[in-house]
């Protein structure tokens, strides 16, 4: 069976020497905009393209505020601080995530609480969150939530939309509102994904996006904070720009802050990529549909978008029967020129986070034993077909699940 899968994937990508997991596609104005940014001499954090990119993000997500940052980790770090997370607080998140999620919490000096995920969304389980809140959290000091076991204040909740699949963010939002816990979405992987018609990252107080080199939309690095809170957006821009108070020539900074703004060069690349995002999303859904049909014929579960969600299918994934089969699949595919990767090591198992409070994490461990990411770059043939269609980017194609 492995040989059949390897041949199918290699055929999708035209039989290159090695099929990468997710490589960028530069098909539009990238070189033109980069040259223009260089000619303007505004190559750092001030420039036309930074402003344009932030406007494009607001238009895409339907938010009133977007602040471009140097990467997604910086965006999440700043977002947590803006949400009020302070040293010795606790932040609730999930163990199924890239390490940057936990690192950003640690940068704030806060402790981590890892709660289980759901198998269908790969994101934080509302049931696990409800159980933790009802059994471990009490209200003190004007209703503020505290962990009964540790005595620490719960400073924020950070669910992550894993591989671009939206979690049940509406139920998580309702629980956070009930317990007065700021909701900060880690939407790093979910540009273009929606849940119940709303873009991911728009349910909480604020959210972090990422435009790393392996993302659906890339500018080499890059990230952003999005929010509908005008005051928070203003503070976000201020604290990510070294808290410099505007003045014609004086250098006055009114707080300890960060040099986290996105350079204009990266923003030029980002603007060109944003112009093609709809095309990328249509083509990626076609790829996911092809994978879904193929793996169904083999009897292997393909990870599909959850109910009420429209996923960008950033990274496609299949589920093997057990860890032994998973490891054999990883070894065979990589040996034969197809890059595949396991789920990240669960964050609570990493040495720096092993002391964190957790629940049983049964679903997280189940997924870690079985899930494998498969090549998810948009095949050239899918892109050409999508670009050739007049409706590409303006109408939604069939659901990638085939339903």
Does the structure show a pLDDT above 50 at 398? no
Pairwise CA distance, residues 284 & 386, whole Å: 10
113 forms beta bridges with 92, 357
Mean pLDDT on 195-219: 97
Higher pLDDT, 381 or 285: 285
Mean pLDDT on 113-119: 98
Q: In the structure, what pLDDT confidence band is assigned to residue 142 with cuts at 50, 70 and 90?
A: confident
CA torsion angle for 348, 315, 304, 104 (degrees, to 10)? 30
Residue 226: the pLDDT is 98
Pairwise CA distance, residues 259 & 343, whole Å: 32
* C-alpha angle 164-170-175 in degrees, rounded to nearest 5: 125
Q: In the structure, what pLDDT confidence band is assigned to residue 390 with cuts at 50, 70 and 90?
A: low
CA-wise closest residue to 304 among 322, 286, 318, 284: 318
The backbone torsions φ and ψ at residue 172, rounded to the nearest 5 degrees and listed phi first, read -65, -40
Does the structure show a pLDDT above 70 at 395? no
Mean pLDDT on 11-16: 94
pTM for the model = 0.95
Q: 288-307: string of b/e by CB count within 10 Å (b at 16+)?
A: bbbbbebbeeeebbbbbbbe
Pairwise CA distance, residues 344 & 350, whole Å: 10
Mean pLDDT on 269-284: 97
Pairwise CA distance, residues 224 & 67, whole Å: 5
Q: In the structure, what pLDDT confidence band is assigned to residue 16 with cuts at 50, 70 and 90?
A: very high
CA-wise closest residue to 121 among 76, 156, 158, 169: 169
Pairwise CA distance, residues 394 & 335, whole Å: 40
CA-wise closest residue to 337 among 4, 6, 2: 6
Q: Are 366 and 326 in contact (CB under 8 A)?
A: no
What is the torsional sign of CA 248, 252, 257, 260? positive
Q: In the structure, what pLDDT confidence band is assigned to residue 391 with cuts at 50, 70 and 90?
A: low
Q: Which domains does the chain have, with CATH numbers?
A: 2-23+277-388 (3.90.1150.10), 30-274 (3.40.640.10)
pLDDT one-digit tens code per residue, 316-366: 999 999 999 999 999 999 999 999 999 999 999 999 999 999 999 999 999
Does the structure show a pLDDT above 80 at 394? no
Residue 397: the pLDDT is 37
Q: In the structure, what pLDDT confidence band is assigned to residue 401 with cuts at 50, 70 and 90?
A: very low
pLDDT one-digit tens code per residue, 155-186: 999 999 999 999 999 999 999 999 999 999 99
Residue 374: the pLDDT is 98
Mean pLDDT on 193-201: 98
Q: In the structure, what pLDDT confidence band is assigned to residue 403 with cuts at 50, 70 and 90?
A: very low
Mean pLDDT on 229-250: 97
């Amino acid at each position: 069976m492995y040989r059949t899968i390897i041949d199918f994937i290699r055929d999708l990508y035209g039989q290159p020497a090695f099929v990468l997991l997710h490589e960028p596609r530069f098909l539009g104005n990238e070189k033109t905009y980069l040259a223009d940014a260089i000619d303007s001499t505004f190559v750092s954090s001030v420039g036309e393209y930074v402003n344009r990119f932030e406007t494009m993000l607001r238009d895409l997500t339907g938010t009133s505020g977007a602040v471009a940052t140097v990467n997604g980790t910086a965006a999440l770090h700043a977002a947590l601080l803006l949400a009020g997370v302070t040293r010795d607080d606790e932040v609730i998140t999930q163990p199924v995530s890239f390490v940057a999620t936990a690192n950003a919490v640690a940068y704030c000096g806060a402790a981590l609480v890892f709660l289980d995920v759901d198998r269908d969304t790969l994101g934080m389980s509302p049931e696990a969150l409800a159980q933790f809140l009802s059994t471990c959290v009490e209200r003190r000091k004007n209703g503020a939530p505290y962990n009964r076991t540790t005595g620490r204040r719960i400073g924020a909740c950070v669910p992550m939309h894993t591989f671009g699949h939206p979690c049940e963010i509406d139920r998580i939002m309702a629980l956070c509102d009930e317990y007065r816990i700021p909701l900060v979405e880690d939407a790093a992987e979910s540009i273009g994904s929606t849940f119940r018609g709303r873009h991911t990252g728009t349910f909480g107080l604020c959210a972090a996006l990422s435009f790393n080199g392996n993302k659906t939309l890339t500018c080499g690095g890059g990230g952003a904070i999005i929010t509908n809170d005008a005051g928070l957006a203003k503070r976000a821009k201020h604290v990510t720009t070294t808290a410099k108070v505007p003045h014609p020539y004086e250098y006055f900074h009114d707080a300890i802050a960060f040099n986290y703004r996105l350079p204009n060069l990266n923003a030029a690349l980002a603007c060109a990529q944003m112009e093609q995002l709809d095309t990328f999303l249509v083509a990626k859904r076609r790829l996911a549909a092809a994978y879904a049909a193929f793996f169904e014929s083999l009897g292997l579960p393909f990870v599909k978008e959850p109910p009420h969600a429209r996923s960008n299918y950033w990274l496609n994934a299949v589920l093997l029967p057990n860890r032994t089969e998973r490891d054999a699949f990883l070894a065979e595919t990589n040996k034969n020129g197809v890059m595949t990767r396991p789920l990240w090591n669960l964050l609570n198992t990493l040495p720096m986070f092993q002391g964190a409070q957790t629940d049983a994490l049964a679903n997280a461990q189940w997924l870690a034993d079985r899930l494998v990411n498969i090549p998810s770059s948009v095949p050239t043939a899918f892109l050409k077909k999508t670009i050739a269609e007049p409706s590409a980017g303006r109408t939604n194609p069939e659901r990638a699940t085939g339903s």
